[in-house]
Every structure is written in C-alpha cells, then in structure tokens.
Amino acid sequence: MSKKGENIYKRKDKRWEARYIKGYDPDGSARYGYCYGKTYREAKEKVERAKAALLTNVPAPDNSRRRRFTYYCDEWLRLNKIKVKEATYVKYNTIVEKHIKAKLGGCFIQALSTALIEQFTQELLFEDELAPKTTKDILVVLNSILKYSARQYTGVFPHVEIFYPKDPKKEMRVLTKDEQIQFVQYLYKDMDECKFGTLLALLTGMRIGEICALKWESISLEEQIIKIKSTMQRLHDYESLDSGKTKIVISSPKSDTSARIIPLTDHITNLCRKYTAVPSAYVLTGKSNRFIEPRTLQYKMDKYVKECNLSGVHFHTLRHTFATRCVEVGFEIKSLSEILGHSSPKITLERYVHSSLELKRDNMNKLPVVEGL
C-alpha cells in the first residue's frame, strides 16, 4: 500500500513501482512515467530524480540498455491492460508469464536474435509439446512485444525475424444427418432446461459461452429473435495471490460481429414457449440466481454423447454441424456468416463449412451428361 500522497506501490513481483506525471497530452490527460526499485527507498529516490530532471529540463539517466527483456514484457502488458478486454488480457498475461518471460525474460535486448527466437520456438514445440496453433499464438504476442521494445530502446535494436510454425488444418467433427436425428431425439427425451439449451445451440449455432450467458430477456418470442449480447468464460484470476485461482466472467461477446441477432424459425419459437421463464432467468437453468458455466456444460455434453454412443463430439461440434446443415440446404453464405457472428464470409467457408460425401455426390450428379462417353 502506498503512503498518503505518494504513487509508490509494491508489485506482485516484489518490486516497488513509483509513478509520476511527466507531461500532458493535447486533450489534457496526464502522461505518466514509471520508476522501479527493489526497495521502497530505491523507487522513491529514482522518481525524485526523474521529477527533478523534468524541472531542470535535464533528461533522466537512460537505463534502457541495462534492462532485461522482462521489463519490456511488463510494460507491454501494462499498456495493453487498458486497451483490450479482460479475457484477452488474461490470455496475454498467461502467455507472457508462463512462456515468454520464463524463457526469454532474463535476456538483455542485445542478446535477442533470430537464432534465439528459433530456439525458443523449437522448445515450445518439442520440449513443451505445444500445438503449432498455440505456439503461433505465443509468437504473435512475442512479436508485438518486440515491436514495442524497439520503439522504447535507445540503442540499435537487433534485427529479429520470427518464423511461424505451420498449423495443419484439422477436419472438424460434424454430426451426420442420422447422428443429428439420434442426438435430437435423445435431447427431447426427459428434456430439462439444460437439454433444451443444448438443442437451442444446435439449432442456432451459438457458442458455448453465449448459451451459458443467455437470459430470457434476450429472447423475443413476438419478434422471433435471439439477441446475443453476452458471453461467459472462466478466466485465470491474475489479481489473486493464488496463482491457480480462476473466476467466472460475463462480458460482451468476443468481437463486434459476435454481438448479433439470430432469427428463429417457427419450430424453435414454439419450443422456446415451453421453457420460457422470467426475463432475468438464465436459459440453461430457468433461474435468475443460478447459471451453468461452460466447463460444467461441456461435462454434461460429454454425458449426453456417451449415452448416444457418439465419439469425438464436443459442444463446438454443434456449431459446425449447424453451419454445415445450413450450407446443405442452400443457405446464403453472407447471412450465415452474420448469424454465426463471423467478421467475414471467408471465415465461415474456411472453418465452419464441412461438405459431406452425400452433398458432394449430389453436386456431382448435377453435372450434365456428356453423350458418347
């Protein structure tokens, strides 16, 4: 805790951070400078020297060349904390703390090189056994930190190239028509609120976090629409002293296009009427004071598919299945993309449309017969 009138705080990494105003932006907002020390006194002495340098127009001593890469990682995180959503910041924080700082944080800037980053990449892939997609996500964050570091570093910043691993495209599991009929029949049998919500996700393509956060106030039976306004996630609680602690966060959807309106068919509308509850109630529970989080819903989904003798099926399979069924009946791709909440139809086509052998055969049969062959 800081002393009265001072902006000096003890950080979670045990260092002391002292903040001071070093100028103002054109809109009048303050621009802050930061000084760090192993002790309260060291941080205070540094910030007093920085303040004195501002008054005398003498630049404060530049220590950028003696700073280790961990310093730039921390500064990059601090700046992004106010720019991105909490879920994104938690992802960044986990990547930086668990991977980047753990392996590269002790390096001085001058030691960074293409060869060192390539070695870092190989360790992620073969020692930590991370998937190419996960490794690529880490390298994207690292690249952003390197760009930030280059802007802050006063010396000659080393030339560093990053080579991203190829992420082999995996064919996503999609329910066949027969499997879908079997699964829907199972959900109808002894249907409760959770089974109803699962069926609603299959019939609308909603994400697991969206159906978990969905309340009846977002469903209009008169207009026959669902408004996707929220998503639910279990995130790492980076502010907790317990490094393994997590928390449930209900926030706006993952992107602007994810906040959307999904039209309902007459069949879905009639189904909703059977389970409608007070506006503040969660769809999956029918109660205002109790929700089902994504992890619990996936456990229930595992139980459902096991009882249906279906293999390789997860909750996200329902979303892919919905998209595939839409394409099979000739759904216009732009409309489908908006219903799924994608930023462009290209994402819908590349990631979510899975053409079955039956559909391919039907399309082949549409070709004209060539006489004489």
Q: Which pLDDT value is given to residue 172?
A: 81
Confidence at residue 345, expressed as pLDDT on a 0 to 100 scale: 84
Task: Provide the pLDDT for residue 319.
Answer: 94
Residue 373 has pLDDT above 70, yes or no: no
Q: For the whole model, what pTM was predicted?
A: 0.70
Is residue 373 in some structural domain? no
Q: What is the pLDDT of residues 85-117, one digit of tens each?
A: 888 999 999 999 999 999 999 888 888 999 999
Question: Does residue 288 share a domain with residue 220?
Answer: yes
pLDDT of residue 329: 86
Q: What is the domain extent for residue 270?
A: 177-361
Check residues 202 and 363 and name the one with the higher pLDDT: 202
351 and 209 within one domain: yes
Relative to beta strand 260-263, strand 16-24 is unpaired
The DSSP string of 150-173 is HHH--S-PPP----PPP-PPPPPP
Which stretch, 235-244, 250-259, 355-364, has highest mean pLDDT?
Answer: 250-259
> Are 346 and 199 in the same domain?
yes
Residues 311 and 188 in one domain: yes
45 versus 216: the higher-pLDDT residue is 216
Count of structural domains, the chain: 3
181/164 same-domain check: no
Instruction: Pull the structure tokens for residue 218.
Output: 């977002």
Same domain, 111 and 237: no
Alpha carbon of residue 319 to chain centroid:
17
Q: Which pair of tokens denotes residue 267? A: 């069949």
Shared domain for 111 and 83, answered yes or no, is: yes
Looking at every residue in the chain, the average pLDDT score rounds to: 87
Cα 357 to Cα 27: distance, rounded to the nearest angstrom: 60
Residue that finishes a domain, picked among 168, 185, 216: 168
User: What CATH number does residue 255 fall under?
Assistant: 1.10.443.10
- Is residue 369, in this structure, part of any structural domain at all? no
Query: pLDDT by residue (tens digit) across 131-140?
Result: 999 999 999 9
Query: Domain containing 130 — which CATH number?
Result: 1.10.150.130
Residue 13 lies in a domain: yes
Same domain, 218 and 138: no
Rounded percentage of the chain residues whose pLDDT exceeds 70: 89
Residue 372 lies in a domain: no
DSSP 8-state assignment for residue 282: B
Residue 16 lies in a domain: yes
40-61 pLDDT, tens per residue?
Answer: 888 888 888 888 877 776 555 5
Which of 15-24, 44-53, 195-204, 352-361 has the lowest average pLDDT? Answer: 352-361
User: Residue 3 pLDDT more than 60?
Assistant: no
Choose the final residue of a domain: 9, 37, 61: 61
Q: Would strands 225-228 and 30-37 be described as parallel, antiparallel, or unpaired?
A: unpaired
Res 58: pLDDT: 59
The answer on 212 and 266 residing in a single domain is yes
- What pLDDT shows up at residue 235? 86
What pLDDT does 63 receive? 59
Q: Are residues 147 and 40 in the same domain?
A: no
> How many whole angstroms separate alpha carbon 58 and alpha carbon 45?
16
Q: Are residues 105 and 119 in the same domain?
A: yes
Lowest average pLDDT, out of 91-100, 310-319, 343-352, goes to 343-352
User: Residue 184: what residue type?
Assistant: V
Across 144-161, average pLDDT? 89
pLDDT for the residue 220? 95
Q: Please report whether residue 341 resides in a domain.
A: yes
Domain stops at, among 44, 61, 78: 61
pLDDT of 363 over the 80 cut: no
Residue 95: φ, ψ to 5°: -60, -45
Any domain includes 367: no
Residues 211 and 312 in one domain: yes
pLDDT band (50, 70, 90) for residue 358: low
CA-angle at 43, arms to 41 and 46, nearest 5°: 105
Sign of CA dihedral 296, 297, 298, 302: positive
Asked whether residue 207 is domain-assigned, the answer is: yes
Q: Which has more confidence, 180 or 243?
A: 180
Which pLDDT band, with edges at 50, 70 and 90, does 26 fall under? Answer: low
